[in-house]
Amino acid sequence: MCARRKHHYAVLATKKRPAARPAGPPGSAPSAPCPETSPDQAPRRADVYTRLYAGTKKARLAAARPRRTPSPAHAKPASAAQMYELIRRLDALLFAEPNSLDAALEEQQPVAAAQLIDAQDTQLSVYERGEMMRNAHVYYVPPAWTAPGCGSAINVSSFKNNYGFDDADGNYVVRPQDHVAYRYEIVRVLGTGSFGNVVHCRDHRYAARGRWRNVAIKVIKNELDWLLQAVSEVKMLKHLAAAQAGRADGHVLTYCDHFHFRGHMCIVSELLSLNLYTLLELGQFRGVALALVRSFARKILAGLRFVHAQHVIHCDIKPENIMIRLPPDYCPGAAGAPDFQVKLIDFGSSCLETETSFSYIQSRFYRAPEVILGARYGPQIDVWSFGCVLAELFAGSPLLPGRNELEQIALVLEMFGAPPSALVLAERKRLLRSVRTDMHRKLNDPLVSGASVFSSKPAVQVDERKLKKTLLYTLFNLDGKINLPFLNLQLQACEPKDQPASALPAPFKRNVKLSSRSLDVSMRLHSSHEDKSDQAAFSRFMGLVFQWDPAVRPTAAQLLDSPFLQDGLGQSAGGGPPN
């Protein structure tokens, strides 16, 4: 739901640590804690290499030093209680918002639109009077309408920018305390993205004792392409909601309603607390300890198991699309912290297993190799993305932060080596066979020649030239072996020329060396003095996830039975067994 963020190394290199100061009053969001150090002792926020290896060369016979342990302000949260305390210290309001779908709230009687039009005639524009007449039932009007001399600030005298309702980019102009469809009161903006905005609203149709139902409304940008994607997301949410009906422990976002309002598609859903990227940001991108990683892994995999059981591929698993619902009954200092929920959101890119025709799917850092290469794909691409998310949750930064698709596959090759030649040849045959025989693929598939809009039959003619431009053909020779000189040449060709190397957040990759990096070492560099056996179990678990062959890569259900997730099941890390 969030816009594609900038490179994490740039964030870590430029973000300054605020000075420590006393906590503010209850309800305010205090600054992140900081150890008391003098300015000349403050840690440098440089690139990853500098932060890991900075310092002068040590003497060969250096005196033994006591083992350094992280201070409480810098230790990774290892349990739900520690995570709650971190969140409460930095943004206590996340615990203050009540359950969005409280069953105790009662349905309210609407106000007749004609009555409001007569009472507020001088405050309403012609456009708004027409809206209210078509609505018939009104549950909420902005407070400005009831103040003398105050009316709508919207200028509807011109068609420009959708009668003034949109900004220059086609996003709906959000104003606190304004209404959406004369029912929802806008509280604040939760997030923005290329699709539009997500806003926190109060649903005035359901209330009790001065409380209203809290919901999140995804207001889609006023553009046809985004509208069509929103329609697809609504269909997918309804499909999953039907399968999830009656379950209190749902693993996907709860869909409530959808409607059109002033040229924008609006999708109403339950209100959740924060996503995993925000959690990492609150912890200054230090990550979380393995005990908490294990708890998150169980919950995310339970969600993927449910989604895949409905024959749905999410296609965009990333930290921003994995949200946490914090327990409203959390009490700091109480014995035994209540558990939290994890839910998958943003099904705008999702598809059924039989409709895998989108060529550009998954965010780049979390993109499975079969998608990068242009091969056929299935639910296993979500498992690869899950592995990338889990590594980032532990380390605090992305495991494979490629700046383009070529650098992304280069990072995969360096970390996991080259795929077997037999797999490459088999995937080429499978791709050609499936494209020729699949009669239900969409017309915008780049591997298929477009058909006439007047034709009643889908096109089946395969454009061999487009097919052989995919990396599945260009990156490997006829025998299926990796062509490293070609990859290195392409990487050098796409290196930015308009800015010096010193201005880049990290050196641009030029020469790829297969298996030159180790997943186990990368994880150990970010270890917070974890138990060695636990760290080894985590490395073995991650090794299961990152398999080149999708047929060998375990399913979400199989991963839930792995030893790493079975160890410590039900212990106090905030995660019980998934349902």
Active site residues: 316
Please, what's the b/e burial string for 116-135 (b: 16 or more CB within 10 A of its CB; e: otherwise)? Answer: bbeebeebbbebbeebbeee
> How many residues are given for the chain?
579
Strands 211-220 and 184-193: unpaired
- How far, CA to CA in Å, does 285 sit from each of 17, 110, 306, 337? 12, 47, 29, 23
Rounded CA gap, 500 and 371, in Å? Answer: 32
Comparing CA positions, the residue from 448, 447, 449, 439 lying closest to residue 473 is: 447
Question: What is the full DSSP assignment across 524-565?
Answer: HTT--S--HHHHHHHHHHHHHH--SSTTTSPPHHHHHTSHHH
Q: How far is the C-alpha of 416 from the C-alpha of 419, rounded, in Å? A: 8
Q: How far is CA 512 from CA 492, 506, 520, in A?
A: 11, 15, 19
**Among 217, 297, 303, CA closest to 261:** 217
Name which of 461, 457, 458 is nearest 447 in CA terms. Answer: 461
Q: How far apart are CA 485 and CA 64, in angstroms?
A: 46
CA 433 to chain centre: 34
For residues 484 and 509, what is the distance between their CA atoms, to the nearest angstrom?
13
Q: Which tokens is 518 given?
A: 């180790």
CB contact burial 395-433 (16+ within 10 A = b; e otherwise): bbbbbbbbbebbbbbbbbbbbbebbeeebbeebbeebee
Burial of 157 (0-12, 13-18, 19+ CB in 10 A): exposed
- Measured distance CA(514)–CA(481) in Å, rounded: 12
Measured N-to-C along each axis, helices 380-395 and 532-545 cross at an angle, to the nearest 10 degrees, of 150
CA distance 322 to 255: 16
Please state the φ and ψ torsions of residue 513, each to the nearest 5 degrees. Answer: -120, 120
Q: Is 218 annotated as a binding residue?
A: yes
CB 362 within 8 A of CB 402: no
Environment class of residue 154 by beta-carbon count within 10 Å: exposed (0-12), middle (13-18) or buried (19+)?
middle
Distance CA 536, CA 524 (A): 9
Which residues define the annotated binding site? Answer: 218
**Binding-site positions for ATP:** 218
